[in-house]
Copies of this chain bind each other. A is one copy, B any other.
Amino acid sequence: MKAIGIDLGGTNIKVAVVDKKKGILEQTSVPTNAELGRDHVLDRIAATVNSMTEIKGAIGIGFGLPGMVNLDQTTVYNPPNLPGWDAVNAADEITQRTNIPCRIENDANVAALGSLHFGKGKQFDSFVMLTLGTGVGGAIIHNKKLFKGTQGMAGELGHVIIDYHGPLSNSVTRGTIEAYVGQRFLSRFATDMISQHPNNVLYKRFHGNFDKLEPVDLTREAELGNDLAIEILMKTGQRLGYAIINYTHILDIRKYILSGGVSKAGSWITEPAKEIIKKQMMAPFQVDFELLVEDLGNDSALLGASGLAFDSFA
C-alpha cells in the first residue's frame, strides 16, 4: 500500500511517496517561498505531488504543517511562518488541486505518527512524543490513535508549567518546559552558565559568539568529560523529568519518545530525567515506564505524514 506524505516547513516543501512496508520510495524537495503567499504555496505543493513518478495507486495524502489543526484534520489555524494563512482548509485545497483525498495534521502529531508507523512507537499501543526543537511540541498516541481532545488541540506539551514563577518562553505562559528545554532557551541557559566559568573550554570557544552555541556543542563537550557541559545537560534533563511526571500523572501513559535536535543529547538528558522520575513520580506509574529517543531522523515528518494517510484512507 502506498500513500503520499507532505512536510511543509518555512524553508522547504518536501513530498514523498511512501510504501507502508518499504518506507520512502521517492522523495523531492522544493523551496517554500512562503512570502509569495498561501495560494502560491498550495499550488507549489500540488504541482510537486502531481510530478511524483510513483504516485499511481497512492490511497491518499497526509500533510504535515505547523499550527493548530481541527478535529477533522482538514483546517489549520494561523500557522507560524506562513504569512496569509489564517484559517485554511488545506486538505480541501490540496484535494482540489490533485484529485487525491487529503488530511492534515500539525508537525508534532505527524512526528508521533511517524514513530507509530515506522519508528520506536511501533512497539507501543500508547505513547507520548516530545519534539525537542526550537520550541517543544508534543503528541499523545492512545490505543494507536492520536488523542486530540475536544477541539483538536490536545498535546501542547511544551506549554506545560513546571514553575509558575519561572521564565517566559514564546507563549504567554510562564515557566513552561519549553522555556527550559526549547533550543533557544537552552542556549540562553547554557550561555548564562558558561559566562560564569571563564576557564572552561566552552567559554574560550564561544565568548563573544554565544549565539553560535548549539546543543550539539554541549553534547560533544560532555562526551569529552567537560563537567560544565554535563551539568547544563543534566539540569535540562531534570526539568524534562518534571514535565514528564505531569504528563504521566494526568494521562497514565508510560512510554515516552523524544525527537528533535535537543534529543540528540541522548542519555546526557534522559538519565537525569529518569532519576527525577524515579524519585518524584508516584510509585504505581513507575511500572512499565520507558523513555526512548527516536532515530528516524529527517525522514520522520514524511513518514508520519504518510502514516496519517494510511490511518485515514486505508
Categorize the interface residue count of chain A: 35 or more
Q: Could you give, for residues 80-122 of chain A, a 1 whenever the CB lies within 8 Å of some chain B CB and a 0 otherwise?
A: 0000000000000000000000000000000000000000000
Q: Give the docked Cα–Cα distance between A161 and B16 (Å).
A: 41
Please tell me how many copies of the chain the complex holds. 2
Question: Does A215 have its Cβ within 8 Å of any Cβ on chain B?
Answer: no
Please tell me which one of the listed residues B152, B157, B250, B279 contacts residue A247 in the complex, with CB atoms under 8 A apart.
B250
Given that A68-B284, A150-B126, A279-B172 are contacting pairs, would A157 and B242 also be in contact in the complex, using a CB cutoff of 8 Å? no
The answer to whether the Cβ of A155 comes within 8 Å of any Cβ in the partner chain is yes
Contact A160 B249 (CB under 8 A): yes
Residues of B within 8 A of A2 (CB): none
- Collect the chain B residues with CB atoms within 8 Å of residue A253's CB: 149-150
Other contacts beyond A150-B253, A246-B250: 16, CB < 8 A:
A125-B150, A150-B252, A150-B254, A151-B284, A151-B288, A152-B252, A153-B284, A154-B251, A154-B252, A155-B250, A160-B246, A160-B249, A172-B279, A173-B245, A173-B281, A246-B246
Residues of A within 8 A of B (CB): 68, 77, 125-126, 138, 140, 142, 148-157, 159-165, 171-175, 239, 242, 245-247, 249-254, 279-285, 287-288
